[in-house]
Amino acid sequence: MSKRTEKTIVDIAEELNLSVSTVSRALNDHPNISAKTKEKVKKMARKMGYRPNTMAAGLRNNKSKTIGLVVPRISMFFPATISTVIQNKLQEHGYNLLICQSNDSYEQEIALADTLYSARVDALAVSTTLYTTDFSHFDVFIENNIPLVFFDRVPKDYNVKVIKGDDYLGGLTVTKHLIERGCKDIVHISGPLTCNLYIERVAGYKSALQQHKIPFKKSRIFYHELTRENALQTCEKIFAQQPYPDGIFAANDTTAITILEYCRKIKLRVPEDIKIAGYSNDPRTEIITPSITSVDQYPALMGEKVAAALLELLQQSKPVQQKYNEEIIPIKLIARASTEGPVVKVRGKKK
């Protein structure tokens, strides 16, 4: 294991023949220090391997200019887009972003919260795992006045800023769209109900059925982690017996794409025999044939709101007062070939 002899600001001051206070102020971007001196000091600090954390113990109030981000999976289109927007916005204000992925493991999320706390982030943004219902591993941030913002997958009763999509409206809109295109027997494939957004999409699905007087059947709804493997297993179940559904609303696009490929394999025509809709507007939904109807969740807008919320909390000069405060990002149905067909008259309430 590595042995380090940590350098202090005293070493930098000696090396540059400057006073310790000048070095300290240069490193902290004090306005009285010239840009040239700041650059010289920072360059030497880098060269000497100086780490700000090794500052004298008395300096309790040091800022790392680093912000932490925890997302379920960096490879998914939606969190990847949000992460990049957050990073670009924060960078404009001199912050660097440390990204961690929980891989939808609750234990991993706890470990990452600890890791980012120890890495001394100035603020933290989180989209939780599918299974996070206890948020106490983030208490340490609140207790230490470190700004905390949740987005997309969020808590309900926790004193934090929350920025989320309109998942109820999303579920309602997709299901109504399928009904208006003639579907009468719609399967919904949902994520686990430990996660807020799936509860809401399911509620939207049920509301749409009810509004159109289509009976809700428990057997037409499936819950699992929305992976390709799970989608294939669910297809085996759905198409094991007649009658087949005439519409499928999948709560993510990976599932919708997998179902489309499965239907192709068993010679079901999409959209003629069965209509398919996904969620999140992953670019793959546009390039596949037929293209797949999905829901745009405006990830760039969500990323901007998250960055703005973090910056606002960071600018508070007093200890940060975190309280529950919800902001809703709109959604938009993107109708594509996978749900094409004549608009049919449907029973139920007029819009």
Q: Which is nearer to a copy of itself, 84 or 207 (CB)?
A: 84
Minimum CB distance to a copy of itself, residue 154 (Å): 21
Conformational region of residue 53, where left means phi above 0, alpha means psi within -120 to 50, and beta covers everything else: alpha
User: Reduced to 3 states, what is the DSSP secondary structure of residue 223?
Assistant: strand
Alpha-carbon distance of 79 to 280, in angstroms, equals 10
Neighbours of 249 (CB within 10 A): 32
* Contact predicate 154/166, CB 8 Å: no
In the 8-state DSSP scheme, what is residue 42? H
Rounded to a whole number of angstroms, the minimum distance from the CB of residue 92 to a copy of itself is 12
| Binding to a copy of itself in span 85-114, by CB under 8 A | 87-88, 91, 96-101, 103, 108, 111-112, 114
Nearer to a copy of itself, 215 or 319 (CB): 319
Could you give the CA distance from residue 223 to residue 234 in angstroms, rounded to a whole number?
A: 9
Q: Closest distance between a copy of itself and the C-beta of residue 137, in Å?
A: 7
Q: Which is nearer to a copy of itself, 71 or 202 (CB)?
A: 71
By CB under 8 A, what part of segment 150-189 binds a copy of itself? none
Cβ at position 236, least distance to a copy of itself in Å: 21
Q: Residue 225, class by beta-carbon neighbours within 10 Å (0-12 exposed, 13-18 middle, 19+ buried)?
A: middle
Distance CA 43, CA 31 (A): 18
Binding residues with a copy of itself: total (CB under 8 A): 69
Binding status of residue 137 toward a copy of itself by CB under 8 A: yes
Phi-psi region of 104 (alpha: psi -120 to 50; beta: other; left: phi over 0): left
CB contact at 8 A, 14 and 55: no
Q: Is residue 351 involved in binding a copy of itself (CB under 8 A)?
A: no
With CB under 8 A as the contact rule, which of the stretches 116-124, 151-159, 215-223, 329-337 interacts with a copy of itself? Answer: 116-124
Binding to a copy of itself in span 293-312, by CB under 8 A: none
Say which residue the tokens 């300096």 belong to: 59
Minimum distance, C-beta of residue 66 to a copy of itself, in the bound complex (Å): 5
Q: Which is nearer to a copy of itself, 153 or 188 (CB)?
A: 153
Please pick, from the candidates 13, 154, 163, 257, the single residue that binds a copy of itself as defined by CB under 8 A.
257
Minimum distance from residue 350 beta carbon to a copy of itself (Å): 38
C-alpha R_g of the chain:
25
Concatenated DSSP letters for 21-37?
A: HHHHHHHTT-TTS-HHH
Among 11, 104, 126, 147, binds a copy of itself (CB under 8 A): 147
Q: x-or-dash pattern for a copy of itself, window 3-42, by CB under 8 A?
A: xxxx------------------------------------
| DSSP letters for 147-206 | -EEEESS--SSSSSEEEEE-HHHHHHHHHHHHHHTT-SSEEEEE--TTSHHHHHHHHHHH
Supply 2's token pair: 């590595």
> CB-wise, 73 or 212, nearer to a copy of itself?
73
Near a copy of itself in 268-297, by CB under 8 A: 283-284, 287-289
Residue 54 or residue 210: which is nearer to a copy of itself going by CB?
Answer: 54
Q: Does 117 bind a copy of itself (CB under 8 A)?
A: yes
DSSP classification of residue 270: T
Structure tokens, 16: 């540059």
- Per CB under 8 A, residues contacting a copy of itself are 1-6, 46-47, 49, 51-54, 57, 60-61, 63-66, 73-75, 77, 80-81, 83-84, 87-88, 91, 96-101, 103, 108, 111-112, 114-120, 122, 137, 139-140, 143-147, 257, 261, 283-284, 287-289, 314, 316-317, 319-320
